[in-house]
Structure formats: C-alpha cells, structure tokens
Amino acid sequence: MTASDRQPSITSDDAPSSGGLVGGLIKLARPTQWSKQVFVLVGPVYGMIDGRTISWFGVLMATIAVSLAASGCYAVNDIRDREADRMHPRKKRRPVASGRVPVGVARWFAVALFAGAIGSTLVIPGSGGMWTLAAVGTYIASTLAYSAGLKRAVILDVIILASGFVLRVLAGCAAGGVEPSTWLLNVTFFVSMFLALGKRLGERRVMTQAGLDASAARAVQAGYTVEFLRMAVVVTAVATLATYAGYVLERDADFTRGFNLLWLTMLPATYGLLRSIVLVERGVYDDPTELATKDPPFQVSVALFGAFTLGLTLASARGWL
C-alpha cells in the first residue's frame, strides 16, 4: 500500500495558497474541477466514431461555457457555505472561508463568470447555440437551487449533482450537432450518481478520521448513514457497468472478430470503478473525482479505456477489423 492509499490528501482546491487576491480568485474558480468537462466531449467523440460530422468549434465553446458556469456556481456555493466550510478540516482553507477573498468580490466574480458562460454559448453557430444555452442555463439554475437549499434534501441532492453531468453531455451534443443516445444518458446518469454518492461516503470517512461530525460540514449528511451510502455506491457502480455492458452487446456486429473486441473496455472500466470504491471507503479521498488527478492506477485505467475505445472504433470504421 502506498502513502497515498493510507492517508487522506489535501486537494489543490483546498490547500493553502499564495499569490494574493488574484491567486485566491483562481482557487475560488476551482480550475482543477474543469476535468469534469470531459463529459461535454463524450457525445461528440462517440458521434465522430460513428462517422457523424461534428462542429468542434461549437464543442469548444460549450466546454468553455460549462467550465465558466461551474466556476460561477462554485463561487456562489463557497459564499453560502463559508461558515460550514470553516468547520471542515480541509474546506476551511478555501478562499472565502479563510477570508482571503472578500464576500463582495466573490459575488462580482461569480456574476462575471456567469456572463462569460452565457456569452460563450451565443457564438455557437446554428440552433445548437440555443440548445447549448438552454442546457447551460438549466445547469446554472439547478446548481444555484442546490446551493440555496436543495443540497439539504436527502437523495434529491445527489440526483441534482448527477443531473449536472447529464446536462454537460447534452450541452456537448447540442453544440456538436449530435443526438444523444439513451445508453449514453443512462451511463452518464448512473456514473454521476456513483460519483455523488461516493463523495458523500468519502466525506463521512474523512470527517470521522478527523474526529468530526460530517453533518457539521454538510447538513444533508445527517440524513444519510454509512451503511446506506456504501450500498448505494455499489448499486450505482453496478448499474453503470450493466448499462455500459448493454452498449457493448449492442455493438456486437461492429466489433466481433472471434469475440466482441469492445468487451476489452469492460476490464479497465470495472477496475477504475472498483478502485474508486476502495479508496473512498478508506477515506483516502472525500471526492472520487480527485482520482482523475491524484491516483496513477486510476489514471492508467482511464487511459486504457480511452485507448481501447478509440482504437477499436476507429479500426472498425476504417475496415481494419
């Protein structure tokens, strides 16, 4: 077991920082969380693999729009949660909670980020721009509603978080001119539920290890139990894999050469999900999305999944299989 497997890590979003107000605003925007915008690319990438024409300029603008919108929502959330964050062993280092970024400055920063997000959608050509604006606007509205109080509603809180990832997919599809398939929306929803529930479980583990009550930092934790969260994390992981397995089965005709070669992508997908569960269960991370930047084995599983998927689908499309 490595050192990173034994002890909780301090994320770059929560770590002490330097650089004055500008550095604090950068931290407040949480650019490390922009990795979640990979969901914007999922629909266009699979559309490209299927031979569709993609508006990559639109996809780029959608990615920028969602990134700015997410940063604006993070700023609003940190403003509202500043008192609770001061009770958390790591979140107390965030710019607003620590007092590094004044509340008034943080509010205007959020407004500027939202304006940039909306402006980015307006340059997307065709009707895709309006649909992207609708997806981004819905994302902002639902996330602000979450920050305003729905984050205290048990189960509904994680559904809203998961829906945010689905909206990312819809924004990317709209901007790129791709019609999202049912399996894509299902996989996105289930894996997002897995991430949201995993975050709840990981947070409880980290707070317990620090000798603190998890509900002091996040009120909704009072409505959850460790047993329920452990079960829900496993259920959503299984649902994700089962849904994706259905997609692999659906593509039998395209990839079967002795056996369905796309099945190979099931191996890194399964490993990545199960490793996430192990590390969250140990309290190594209080957010499974940290694994994308912190955990090398998980990163390798993601890289293998991407390499197998792209390699096999491109080979099939070009008649090499």
Name the average pLDDT for the chain: 86
Q: Which residue has the higher pLDDT, 83 or 237?
A: 237
At residue 16, does pLDDT exceed 80? no
Contact between 136 and 66 (Cβ < 8 Å): yes
Q: Give which of 110, 89, 28 is closest to 286, Cα–Cα.
A: 89
What confidence category does residue 164 fall into, taking pLDDT thresholds of 50, 70 and 90?
Answer: very high
Q: For residue 239, with 0-12 CB atoms within 10 Å meaning exposed, 13-18 middle and 19 or more buried, which class applies?
A: middle
Q: What is the DSSP string of 16-66?
A: ---SHHHHHHHHHH-GGGGGGGHHHHHHHHHHHHTT----HHHHHHHHHHH
Contact between 138 and 166 (Cβ < 8 Å): no
Q: Give which of 116, 115, 133 is closest to 58, Cα–Cα.
A: 133
Pick the CATH number of 3-317 from 1.20.120, 1.10.600, 1.20.144, 1.10.3470: 1.10.600
Taking only the tens place, the pLDDT of each residue in 113-124 is 999 999 999 999
What confidence category does residue 231 fall into, taking pLDDT thresholds of 50, 70 and 90?
Answer: very high
pLDDT of residue 222: 86
Tokens of 188: 């996105």
At residue 144, does pLDDT exceed 50? yes
pLDDT of residue 8: 45
Extents of the domains making up the chain: 3-317
Q: Taking the mean position of all CA atoms in its chain, how far away is CA 302?
A: 14
- For the chain, the maximum distance between any two Cα atoms, rounded to a whole number of angstroms, is 63
| Count of all residues that appear for the chain in the document | 321
